[in-house]
Amino acid sequence: MLEPALSCLSLYLLTVFAFFSSHGASQLQETPANDGEILLRIKQHWQNPQQLSHWSFPDSSSPCSWPEVNCSGTNAIMGLNFSSMNIPGTVPPFICDLKNLTVLDLYNNSIVGGFPRELYNCSKLEYLNLSQNYFVGPIPGDVDRLSSLNHLDLSGNNFTSDIPAAIGRLKELRVLYLNQNQFNATFPAEIGSLSNLEELVLAHNGFLPSRLHSNFTQLKNLKRLWVSNANLIGEIATTIAEMAALEYLDLSKNKLNGSIPDGLFKLKNLSVVYLYKNRLSGSIPQPVESLELTEVDLSQNNLSGRIPDDFGKLEKAKILNLFLNNFGGDIPESIGRLPQLKEFSVYTNNLSGSIPADFGRYSMLEVLQVNSNGLTGQLPEHLCSNGKLDGVAAHNNFLSGELPASLGNCSTLRFLSITNNSFSGELPAGLWTATNLETLVVGDNSFTGQLPDDVAWNLSRLEMSNNRFTGGIPTGVSNWSNMVFFSASNNSISGTIPPQLTSLPRLTTLLLDGNQLTGPLPSEISSWQSLTTLNLRRNQLSGQIPAQITNLIRLSELDLSENRLSGNIPPQISQLPITSLNLSSNLLEGNIPRQFENGAYSDSFLNNPGLCSSNSDLNLRSCNSRPSQSSKRTTTHILALALSIPAVVVVVSVISSFLAIKKVRGKHVQDSAWEFTSFQKLNFTEDNILAGLTESNMIGMGGSGKVYRVAVDRQHHFVAVKRIWNDIDNKLAKEFMAEVETLSGIRHTNIVKLLCCISKGDSKLLVYEYMKNHSLDWWLHSGAIKRAALDWPKRLNIAIGAAQGLAYMHHDCVPSIIHRDVKSSNILLDSEFNPKIADFGLAKMMMMIMNNSSSSGEAAATLSTVAGSFGYMAPEYGQTRRVNAAMDVYSFGVVLLELTTGRQANGEGGEEKTTTMQTSLAEWAWGRVQEGKAIGDLLDEEVKEEECHLDEMVSLFKLGVLCTTALPSSRPSMKEVVQMLERWRREGSSGGKSGSERMVDESPLLENSNGDGSLPV
């Protein structure tokens, strides 16, 4: 679902900003001297940023020639536009000394502080844009003092509390954007009195459950009403049908109930209606007379009745989304003839009849999603007639016949899912090699034919189980180089398994059970380094299980049962991370591997007369080496019990997953179109991002996916794109959603900014601002040259900035956020080496747990799984799994030790690593302190030569030691750490006590440090 982009400026504002392009003859007069001086003061207030380096006064220069400045005909400064300039700091308190200032645009910077009341002195201010910054606190109750405003945009900040009634007294307002903040109270009915208002956006806020005030419908000039994801309840007022000017309505992702107002679709100017993901019921009101409609999304409600025939009159309609409702009857034939239609999605309803034959014939159809209904007949012949078709999801219906031959010539097709129908015949020859095909799901039909030598270069998922395919696996299968998931179970595929099948480097799942395969398993099996699931059950395979199978280090599910395999079971197979094993009904012999001799594997080796075991619980004949001591039997039973518990969990999970798949086989529908969710104004689309996901652009790889650097325009502005692995499991899916929800809701100059997320089925992308200078880890631990480039002032700035970001998470977010994986590789650096904290894969999960536990008065949460990184995890976490902010403090202390010593957190990189028992940097530091070592001798040689900073280095080392103390209650909070560092920076160069000495005073542990720079023991 595309989130709507924010609208263009009003005609008045376009007129105002037209001055920005006029720097010619209108500048014959000189700008008043005091205005020019004020601009230079503004530049100085922001610490002379590089972006404003051109602000100077050479001969004959005028500020009106600067691109950020707009002047009147008399060269008085009327407008300032600093949008997207990455300016930090606060709003200059003297900015209103520019007496003619009418326009102020600070969009997308790093401005901090509360709402800037100093702007009250700008008596002529009409346009104010403070969006996408880091403002905090409430909007003041006297904001109506900005009485001339006609455009107010405060979106994308951290404003809290309620929206004051004073907003309703800004009578000149035409545009009001308050979306994407942290409002947690209410919005006032007084907004309904803004008679000139044309655009109202309150979306993505955590309001208390609220009804949309009925007087909002009195806004007769309102063109845009966007209040999605705002905790709205109750019914939509019927008087909304009186808002004749309304063009754009988005009330999605709320808890609205009742029916759709009768007159809604009679509004003549209405072009976009988003009511998806509510609790609306009843039928779609008729007649439909809003002939300007381009997008209608009523999905994920409880709507019923028939799809109106009047929808066939919407000749401008591009998107019709009605999925996940209870609609019945036929799909109107006239919808198939709509000339602008690109996307039609009605999956998971109760529709019957045939799919209109003209779909794709008269429009540039891109997406057709009709799965999980009761549809009959054939797929329409013309789906790809205009060469734009991207995806078709028609699974779980009663469709029949052969596939349209035209699909074989559809080069744009990326996704086709038609499983669980009654299709027959062969697949169109060209379909296998369609240029852009990524996913082909045709299982549970009656298709015939053979596997091809060649498939589409990018085909990664092929599901063709439960059909009538014959023939062998072609040797050309080696050309399927991007295949990840291949399922061909329960067909009539015969012959041997060619060694070329083992040459697929990305293959994770191979399901060939229920066929007629013969011969041995190929010895080249070891090249399946990515394989996690292998099922060859119910074939006629023979020979021995190759010893090379033990090289499949990621294999977790193995089923070779009901074949004719013989010989011994390779003993090393027990070293694999196998959670599901079935070798039953073969001709295997000898002892089963000792690690499998427990009740968890009681069904894994049945019907192999030659196998034996020393454990009678496995129902195999006894081996001569059966233990006789009772202690050994006791140990075996204990081990069996311990291993059987997780095995039961695995079996239950497998069964549950299978039932869930059978229940929601329509899930593939989401795979056919990208869902683009932006969190601020963007100058790129998902197409820009997708085009850049090439191997040449890959800059990193982690446990959950790859990271790319992608250019989004011709000026080579970059973003960072984190692509979560395809076929992610539930754990990684939760990680993805946690990172999205957490990052999109917080704003801080030292926390990486999430720009948008893009998802399609199993593919999930996170798009961040790009950090030119990589990570702190990259500079510290990639060699002495890079480490030396990170001089001490840079390191100190990084420490302070990272501390500020963590303090914001711990103390300013409600509820507080625990990062849980603070480390140097998660501290990214921009072009000026300013730090930004990244990677919140577990933060949202922690926030939810903390929120639940706080109701019972608990100060910490308990987790059942270990997360974090070795060398950074606090010792108490490894013992109790109890999590609180002190754990992040410990990790941050390790980062401080990295900054001061240049050593790695896991204890590597020092000459003592082979002779010391310490296993982490924190333990090494404490060990050196306890030995009475002089701290100066422990510092990084690359920066220690900067003697003027030696005291600061020593003090930062001490603070790192303090943060990593074993007792959590003895560690400072991040707020205290920031206070220490900021006081140090502020007073370090002043007379009297030095900054480092002031820092020492902050802690009893540090205040008694020895004169040689060592800590007391």
Residues with a catalytic annotation lie at 821
Query: In angstroms, rounded to a whole number, what is the distance separating the alpha carbons of residues 126 and 9?
Result: 13
Which strand (E) or helix (H) includes residue 555? none
What lies within 8 Å, CB to CB, of 27 at 6+ separation is 62, 64, 65, 71, 75
Burial pattern 156-169, b for ≥16 Cβ within 10 A else e, equals bbbbbebbbbbbbb
Q: How far apart are CA 893 and CA 971, in angstroms?
A: 10
Residue 844 is assigned to a ligand binding site: no
Sign of CA pseudo-dihedral 475, 480, 484, 486: negative
DSSP secondary structure string for all residues of 345-394: E--SSEE-SBPPTTTTTSS---EEE--SS--EE---TTTTTTS---EEE-
Other beta carbons within 10 angstroms of residue 765's beta carbon come to 23
The token duo for 106 is: 């600070």
Distance CA 1006, CA 1017 (A): 11
Residue 733 CA to its chain's centroid (Å): 9
Structure tokens at 20: 């920005």
State the DSSP string of 129-146.
E--SSEEEEPPPTTGGG-
The pairing of beta strand 698-701 with beta strand 675-678: unpaired
Specify the long-range contacts of residues 576-581, CB closer than 8 Å, at least 24 apart.
Answer: 576/550, 576/552, 577/553, 579/646, 579/647, 579/650, 580/556, 580/650, 580/651, 580/654, 581/557
What SS3 state is found at 104?
strand
Three-state DSSP string of 296-358: EECCCCEEEEECCHHHHHCCCCCEEECCCCEEEECCCHHHHHCCCCCEEECCCCEECCECCCC
Task: Give the distance from CA 165 to its chain's centroid.
Answer: 36
Sheet of 422-426: strand order equals 376-377, 398-401, 422-426, 446-448
Beta pairing partners, 135: 113
**320 forms bridges with which residues in the sheet?**
296, 344
DSSP-derived letter for residue 450 is: B
What number of CA atoms fall less than 13 Å from residue 838's CA on the CB side? 27
Kind plus residue range of the DSSP H or E element containing 164: none
In a 3-state reduction of DSSP, which class is residue 696? helix
**Residues annotated in a binding site for ATP:** 722
**Residues annotated in a binding site:** 722
